[in-house]
Structure 1
Amino acid sequence: MYRFLLTPRWIGFHLLVLALIPAFLFLGRWQWGRFEERSASSARITANLASAPVPLDRLDAIGGSVPESREYRLVTATGRFDTAHEVVVRRRTQNSQVGYYVVTPLVTPQGAVLVNRGWVPMGATAEAAPAVPAPPSGEVTVTGRLRPSETEDSTGIRNRPGLPPRQVLLVNTADLGRGLPYRLYGGFVELTAQRPQGGPAPDPLPAPDVGGGGGLNLAYAVQWWLFIGVAVAGWVLLIRREARDLRAAEQEPHATAAV
């Protein structure tokens, strides 16, 4: 009755099911890995954002780098803003508008840290300098989220030369530190508060979206693994239906002869 399973058509179907099972297993495991990665990242960022501010030099150093484990930790630094070396970072979107980040060095006794003071809208054209509110003069204490130096790999933004003066595409401390009269910390700070507050300022940067902790990836993982059961169940059902149809076809001549 089940000799049909050895026909070329059915052999091809068996091979298809056997290929789908490991494929669905692999895709489910890949989504599970993404779930674990995003859940860990979400938990880390949430904990870092909730931590108490600490002095910048406890988490970063002149010429150093900021590891992923310290990203978004709140830090404080005291110094004077150097507007002569201020730059704006192109192609940054906020409130569904394209504009610029305003990055100003804060000079401290140890060196300087780049401070992203916030976002401003574009000027009249992409080449025109935007209107940037001045920072407070004199000594300022800033509080903000510590970020690692931006690169093409970490942001997906392709750097290029030939931009208007004092405009850049990346907050890359190594690039921006060239030609400065002081050395820079390895990371930069996204401003959240400052004392004294000062007058008009760029729009504050929103806190990072930690997302759902990879919940969607978990759903996809379960979905791929369920597909394994669907494939096997469908394979079994088709075999049983084929056997039933063959059995009925064999019994039909006997029933006709009996009549």
Structure 2
Amino acid sequence: MHRFLLTPRWWGINVFVALAVPFCLFMGTWQLGRFEDRVGSHREAAAAARPADRTAAPLDSLLPVDTKTSGRLASASGEYADQLLVPDRRLDGASGFYVLTVLRTDSGKAVPVVRGWLPGAADPARAPAAPTGRVEVTGALQASENSGTKGVHAQGGLPAGQLGVIAAASLVNIVPYELYDAWLTVQTPADGMVPVPAQAPDNTGLDLKAFQNLGYTGEWFVFVAFVLFMWVRLYRREVETLRDEEAGLLDPVPAGAAQEPVASAGAAQEPARG
């Protein structure tokens, strides 16, 4: 009764199932791994923000910025130089601006330092002047922003002395220094400024994309269940059909039924004889 499984039609069905099930399992496992990676990065970012873990390391030892070093406290020594304002930055639901000062480090390269946040429109008169002379700065390490970051607009159209995106690519045309591809945010600002908390790097943490990965995981496993369900359904229908034929429950098709229309057509084409 099960010889039908060796027919070409069932060979095609079986090969499709044998390929589809492992593929769907692989894709579901991969999406689950992506979700677990995001959960892990979220835990690492939370652990880095704990006071017990707030031990500063030299800036150069934490570069380049990745998911493990983002948010870590970094230290650098040098002298403050150019000061810029970063407008339209929200903190605790309020709109304001960052006070950013470029620090020329002892290595000869410069790093942008966000010294704090102030509410309201960006106004150079309200921004406290940076300390003069040699300073040692400690701040949370951040990766360079991009123009697609939420709440960040491009540099074009901003007044002189303002910056839209905190990145070396944006600062290279403003300050004449070689720049690190990172920036620091001081966690204990002075002069009444509010500290800017470290932000998680892009594509990490428990954001919408993380839960999309979890949703895709469920979809791929549902596909596996659907493929197996359809195979079982087709198999059972085939077995039931064969049993009905053996029991004589199906009306057999007359052997000459298919030939009758052909014979009739041939008779109609035969010329009449007088």
- TM bucket, shorter chain: 0.5 to 0.7
2:71–2:199 contact (8 Å) kept in structure 1: no
Query: 1:25: Cα distance to partner?
Result: 2.6
Matched, 1:20 2:20: yes
List runs of 5+ in structure 2 lacking aligned partners: 251-274
Match 1:104 to one of 101, 104, 111: 101
- 1:127 aligns with none
Match 1:167 to one of 149, 162, 174: 162
Kindly, what percent of the aligned residue pairs are identical? 33
One-letter code aligned to 2:41: S
1:74–1:145 contact (8 Å) kept in structure 2: yes
TM-score scaled by length of structure 1: 0.63
Per-residue deviation, residues 32-73 of structure 1 (Å, max 9, x unmatched)? 341353244334433433322325xx1338xx9533142211
Q: Relative to 1, partners in 2 of residues 1:167 and 1:138: Cα closer, same or farther, differing over 3 Å?
A: closer
Name the count of aligned residue pairs: 236
Query: 1:31: Cα distance to partner?
Result: 0.6
Query: 1:170: Cα distance to partner?
Result: 2.0
Per-residue deviation, residues 148-193 of structure 1 (Å, max 9, x unmatched)? 333569x598956454323333211354255536665542112321
Instruction: Determine helix, strand or coil for the equivalent of 1:221.
Output: helix
Name the structure, 1 or 2, with higher relative contact order (CA <8 Å, separation 6+): 1
One-letter code aligned to 1:70: T
Structure number with greater Rg is 2
List runs of 5+ in structure 1 lacking aligned partners: 124-129, 255-259
Match 1:54 to one of 53, 56, 62: 56
Matched, 1:150 2:145: yes
Per-residue deviation, residues 197-225 of structure 1 (Å, max 9, x unmatched)? 322x357446548438x687467536624
Instruction: Determine helix, strand or coil for the equivalent of 1:46.
Output: helix
Partner Cα distance (2:123, 2:147) in 1: 27
Query: 1:20: Cα distance to partner?
Result: 3.0
More off after superposition, 94-103 vs 27-36? 94-103
TM-score scaled by length of structure 2: 0.61
1:49–1:74 contact (8 Å) kept in structure 2: no
Q: How does 1:100-139 map to 2 (within 5 A)?
A: 100-106=97-103, 112-119=110-117, 123=121, 130-131=122-123, 133-135=126-128, 138=131
Partner Cα distance (1:177, 1:87) in 2: 16
Q: Relative to 1, partners in 2 of residues 1:121 and 1:30: Cα closer, same or farther, differing over 3 Å?
A: farther
Matched, 1:251 2:247: yes
Query: 1:27: Cα distance to partner?
Result: 1.8
Query: 1:86: Cα distance to partner?
Result: 1.2
Q: How does 1:1-259 map to 2 (within 5 A)?
A: 1-2=1-2, 6=7, 14=14, 17-18=17-18, 20-50=20-50, 51-54=53-56, 58-60=58-60, 65-68=63-66, 69-76=68-75, 85-88=83-86, 92=89, 94=91, 100-106=97-103, 112-119=110-117, 123=121, 130-131=122-123, 133-135=126-128, 138=131, 143-151=138-146, 161-173=156-168, 175-178=170-173, 180=175, 184-194=179-189, 197-199=190-192, 201-202=193-194, 204-205=196-197, 208=200, 210-211=205-206, 217=213, 220-221=216-217, 224-225=220-221, 227-248=223-244, 250-251=246-247, 253=249
Query: 1:234: Cα distance to partner?
Result: 3.4
Partner Cα distance (2:143, 2:198) in 1: 17
Q: CA RMSD in A?
A: 4.4
Instruction: Determine helix, strand or coil for the equivalent of 1:86.
Output: strand
Partner Cα distance (2:153, 2:26) in 1: 32
1:34–1:217 contact (8 Å) kept in structure 2: yes
2:138–2:186 contact (8 Å) kept in structure 1: yes
One-letter code aligned to 1:103: L
